[in-house]
Amino acid sequence: MFDRLYRKTLQYARHKHAIRYLVALSFAESSFFPVPPDVMLIPMALANPRHAWRLALLTTLASVIGGAVGYGIGYFALLTVEPWLRQWGYWDAYLTARQWFVAWGFWAVFVAGFSPVPYKVFTIAAGSMAMNPLAFILASFIGRGGRFFLLAGLIAWGGERLEQAIHRHINRLGWVSLILLAGALGAYGWLR
């Protein structure tokens, strides 16, 4: 099951418009879309490890530009998007992001950019709190760039060997991922 899905994913990663989709996803995820660009960056870098650095750069730039749009949403339109933040379950994360800004400022954006927390929440919170725009862009570039270049670097370093190893073990990796996801969702539901 996972083998066929893996091969199909790599096939899509080599599609002639894949870079456009990666850039669009990276931009959208930073301001409003829930799917992180890693889901495209990783297979695209695996499909062509020689281009991993360029893909990381494009992902970073698009993500930072999308983050600037998220900042603008927070600065100019928070009252308009507040109902959506509540409806989609991001309101508590937004309030936490605001607390992080009070405590850590620049470092809150950096950590959010590098970690798997919903970055879009932090971009909107940064705008709503009128964070220094240059500090916001710098923290976003360092955090997002660090994350995407680390991924690209690992894939470029592993290259063909990594792709073959993943292909050999894809079924085990797939099942382990599903079990971990189910466990995380169960724990989230239980804690909530």
* Residue-wise pLDDT tens digits, 141-189: 999 999 999 989 988 888 777 666 665 666 676 677 778 778 877 776 7
* C-alpha to C-alpha distance for 108 and 101, rounded to whole angstroms: 6
- Reference 125, options 88, 152, 155, 85; nearest CA is 85
Distances (CA, A) of 139 to 34, 145, 166: 21, 10, 33
Q: Is 161 exposed, middle or buried (0-12, 13-18, 19+ CB in 10 A)?
A: exposed
Mean pLDDT value across residues 98-117: 87
| Each residue's pLDDT tens digit, 41-99 | 888 888 888 899 999 999 999 999 999 999 999 999 999 999 998 998 889 989 998 99
pTM above the 0.85 mark?
no
- Residue 106 CA to residue 100 CA, distance in Å, equals 10
